Structure 1
Amino acid sequence: MASKLDFVDRELARRREKGQLRALRTLQAGEGTTVIAEGRKLVNFSSNDYLGLASHPLLRQRAVEFADLHGAGARASRLIAGSHPGFARVEERLAGLKQTAKALVLNSGYQANISLLPALADRHCLMLLDRRCHNSLIQGAALSRCQTRRYRHSDLGHLRELLVEGAGADYTRRLIVTESVFSMDGDISDIDALVELAAEFDALLIVDEAHATGVLGERGMGLTCGKGVDLCIGTFGKAMGAFGAYIACGESMWEYLVNSCSGFIYTTALPPSVLGSIDAALELVPEMDAQRRTLFANVGYLRAALRDQGWDVGLTGSQIVPVVVGAAEEALALNRYLEESGYLAVAIRPPTVELGSARIRLALNALHQRSDLESLLERLRRWRDDRS
C-alpha cells in the first residue's frame, strides 16, 4: 500500500542518484581561518566571514554588553515592544555609512528579500530579475504575484529589451532586481549602467549587496553608496561577522516598509547580543582598508594562478572565486580530495548553479596567508595533472 510519505523517499532517491543530496555536518571554529571537522583541522575556503570578524574580540565583547543592558531576548516584534535603543543606534550609523536617509534592520537576508519584494509589487507590476539572482529574490518575486521576467545574466541589452517591451503595457510599477556581487560567480554588476536604465524607464532599482557589504566600495560599504539606487539590501552575517540584515533607502520608503514589509512586522526582533555585535562591526569595518587590500591582493594572486593552471574561474572580480568543473560528481570528487589534503572547499551543485556548471566555490578571507593559497594551488595542480 502506498504511503502518504512515499513522495519524500522518491525525492531523496532522485537527488541521491543525481549527486544533489545535501547533508549537514558539524564543524567547530578553529584559530584564524581553520575549522575542526571530525577531529581534523582544515583551512577554511568556504566561509563568508571575509574579514575574519566573527571571532573578533570587540564583536564578542559588545554582544555581552548589549545583553547585559537589554536582556537575552528582544521580548517582542519591533512594532510591539521589541525596538530597544540598540536598533536606533545601529540604523542611524548604518544609514550614514550607506549614504541613505534611513536604514531598517531585519532578521536575515533571506527574510528581507522574501518580504521586501511582495511589499513593493503586486500582480499589476512588472519585475525584471537577473537570471542568477539569489533564491531568496526569486522566491520574493513569486510571492509578490507580479509579472516576472528574468533577463540573461548581466546582459543589460536584454534588460533594456524587456523594459521597452514592458513600457507598452499597463503596469503600475516596474522594478529591476539584481545583486552587486553574485554569490556563486563572484562577478560584479555595472551599477552605474543599471541606475541609468532605471531612470530612463522610471523603474525602481533594488540591489542586494550581501557579498559586497564590508569588502567593496568606499570604506567597505558596498557598491551602491551615493549612486541613486532606490533600495539596497545587505547582510551582517558575512563580512560583518554577525547576523541579520538591512534595507537602506529613503525616508518615505522606510516608513512604507515599517508598515508593509511582513518580514519586519510579524517576527520577534533580533536579540540584543546580535545588535551588539552588529554595532561593533559597524565601528570596525569602515577602518579596515588595510585588511581589504590584503584580501584583494590574495584574490588577484589566486585568480591569476588558477587561470595559469587552466581552471575556469569565470569573470569573478570579488573575493568569491569559482573553480568550475562541470559535472556534480566531479565537483564532489574534488571536494573530497581537497578535504583529504587539509582544505574545506565545498562543492556547489545544481540546482544552486546551472546544470553542467558545478564548482568548488572558493571564498577568500583577509586572514588567509599567502602560504595557504600556495599549498591549495599545488593540490589543485596535482589534481588537474592527474586527469590530463
Structure 2
Amino acid sequence: MAADLSWMRERYEQLRSQGLDWDPPALQSASEPRCTVDGREMIMLSANNYLNLATHPRVVEAAVEATRKYGAGSGSVRAIAGTLDLHLEAERVCADFKEVEAALIYSSGYTANVGLIPTLVRGSEDVIISDELNHGSIIDGVRLTKASRAVYQHNDMAALEQVLREHSGNERKLIITDGVFSMDGDIAPLDEITELAEQHDAMVFVDDCHGEGVLGDGRGIVAHFGLQGRVTFEIGSYSKALGVQGGIVAGTEDVRRHALNHSRSWLLSGSQPPG
C-alpha cells in the first residue's frame, strides 16, 4: 500500500486558504516587454530579462549554433566530462568583464550561493554576518553551515559595526549582502561594508545578480563603487540582465580553484547546456 500523503494535501489546502499557494501563469510567447499570457497580450513588468537580451537575434543565433555544434546537453558534470571549451571561454570573458582574475560558472545563482557559502566557514569558531533582507538562496546557504550566525538590520552600518565588534573573537568573519535587493530594489552601501570589513579583518561576499546590467556600466555594484580587488566573493547571474541561464562566482584564481574543488553544487550538478 502506498504511503499516506494526506499531510501534503492538508498543508497545501492551508496555504490555499490563506492565498499563499503558487499557481504560476504560463506564457505562450517569449519573455519580452510585450508577452502573451492565457491568450492575452500583456506588458511584462515582472521578468528579470532587463535588457531584453533573451530574444536578441545575436544571442539566439549563438545559442542555435552552439546547440548544432555541441548538442542539446553537455553530457556530464563539469568535473568529469561536462566542461566544454565554451564554458572556459565564457569564464574568461566574465572575469575580464568583472575586472577580476577568474570566474567559475554554476548552473544557477542559487547553486552558486548554496554551494560556495558552506565552503567558506567551518564551525562555531567562524561567523557569518548577514543582512536581514538577503535573498533566500543566501539564507539556504547559511543554513547549511555550522558557523555562528548574526543578522544585522537592513543596510544599517552602525548595526553591522556593532555585530563585528561583538564577534571580534571569531576566526573567519564573512559578511554577506545582496548588491541590489530583489524585493525593494535598493542598493547595499558596499563601499561602507567593505571599509568595515577591512577594519575588522572580515571577508565580503556580495550577491549582485540584480546589479549586473544595471550598475557600474553593466559590471555591477563592485564597479559602481570602484571596489575592484577589495570584494572577496562576487556572485553574478547569466539569467537576469544577460538573458540566458547560469550563475557566476568571480574573484581571484584562489577563489575559483577553491570553489571548483570544494563546492558540492558545482561538482555534482550537470553543466550548462551548450546553447
> Which category of TM-score, normalised to the shorter sequence, fits these structures?
over 0.9
**Which 5+ residue runs of structure 1 have no aligned equivalent?**
274-388
In the alignment, what sits opposite 1:165? 166
Residue deviations 1:248-290, cap 9 Å, x none?
01111211111111111111111111xxxxxxxxxxxxxxxxx
Residue deviations 1:295-320, cap 9 Å, x none?
xxxxxxxxxxxxxxxxxxxxxxxxxx
In the alignment, what sits opposite 1:74? 74
Q: Are the counterparts in 1 of residues 31 and 47 from structure 2 also a CA contact under 8 Å? A: no
Residue deviations 1:353-379, cap 9 Å, x none?
xxxxxxxxxxxxxxxxxxxxxxxxxxx
**Which 5+ residue runs of structure 2 have no aligned equivalent?**
none
RMSD of aligned Cα (Å):
1.4
Residue deviations 1:18-66, cap 9 Å, x none?
2211112211225951121121111111111100111111111001111
Question: How many Å apart are 1:82 and its aligned residue?
Answer: 1.1
In the alignment, what sits opposite 1:248? 250
* 1:184-333 equivalent positions in 2, closer than 5 A: 184-218=183-217, 220-225=218-223, 226-227=226-227, 228-273=230-275
Separation (CA, whole Å) in 2 of partners of 1:7 and 1:31: 36
Separation (CA, whole Å) in 2 of partners of 1:119 and 1:248: 15
Separation (CA, whole Å) in 2 of partners of 1:82 and 1:107: 12
In the alignment, what sits opposite 1:112? 112
Question: How many Å apart are 1:142 and its aligned residue?
Answer: 0.4
* TM-score, normalised relative to structure 2: 0.94
Letter in 1 for 2:146: R
Separation (CA, whole Å) in 2 of partners of 1:75 and 1:31: 28
Question: How many Å apart are 1:77 and its aligned residue?
Answer: 1.2
Q: Are the counterparts in 1 of residues 180 and 186 from structure 2 also a CA contact under 8 Å? A: yes
Separation (CA, whole Å) in 1 of partners of 2:71 and 2:116: 29
Distance 1:48 1:32, change over 3 A: closer
In the alignment, what sits opposite 2:128? 127
In the alignment, what sits opposite 1:102? 102
Decide which structure has the larger Cα Rg and report it: 1
Separation (CA, whole Å) in 2 of partners of 1:71 and 1:114: 29
Separation (CA, whole Å) in 2 of partners of 1:109 and 1:189: 18
Distance 1:206 1:30, change over 3 A: closer
Separation (CA, whole Å) in 2 of partners of 1:29 and 1:188: 32
Secondary structure of residue in 1 paired with 2:144: helix
Separation (CA, whole Å) in 1 of partners of 2:32 and 2:191: 37
In the alignment, what sits opposite 1:310? none
Q: Are the counterparts in 1 of residues 108 and 245 from structure 2 also a CA contact under 8 Å? A: yes
Question: How many Å apart are 1:9 and its aligned residue?
Answer: 2.5
In the alignment, what sits opposite 1:57? 57
Separation (CA, whole Å) in 1 of partners of 2:8 and 2:30: 36
Separation (CA, whole Å) in 2 of partners of 1:258 and 1:200: 29
Separation (CA, whole Å) in 2 of partners of 1:128 and 1:29: 42
Question: How many Å apart are 1:217 and its aligned residue?
Answer: 0.8
Letter in 2 for 1:205: V
Letter in 2 for 1:77: V
The sequence identity of aligned pairs, in percent, is 34
Question: How many Å apart are 1:71 and its aligned residue?
Answer: 2.1
Secondary structure of residue in 1 paired with 2:117: helix
Letter in 1 for 2:221: L
Considering fraction of residues, name the structure with more helix. 1
Distance 1:31 1:6, change over 3 A: closer
Q: Are the counterparts in 2 of residues 128 and 150 from structure 1 also a CA contact under 8 Å? A: yes
* TM-score, normalised relative to structure 1: 0.67
Letter in 2 for 1:267: S
Secondary structure of residue in 2 paired with 1:144: coil
Letter in 1 for 2:50: Y
- Matched residue count: 268
Question: How many Å apart are 1:188 and its aligned residue?
Answer: 0.4
Secondary structure of residue in 2 paired with 1:28: coil
Q: Are the counterparts in 2 of residues 74 and 270 from structure 1 also a CA contact under 8 Å? A: yes
Q: Are the counterparts in 1 of residues 28 and 38 from structure 2 also a CA contact under 8 Å? A: no
Q: Are the counterparts in 1 of residues 31 and 49 from structure 2 also a CA contact under 8 Å? A: no
Distance 1:150 1:83, change over 3 A: same
Q: Are the counterparts in 2 of residues 30 and 41 from structure 1 also a CA contact under 8 Å? A: no
Secondary structure of residue in 1 paired with 2:150: strand
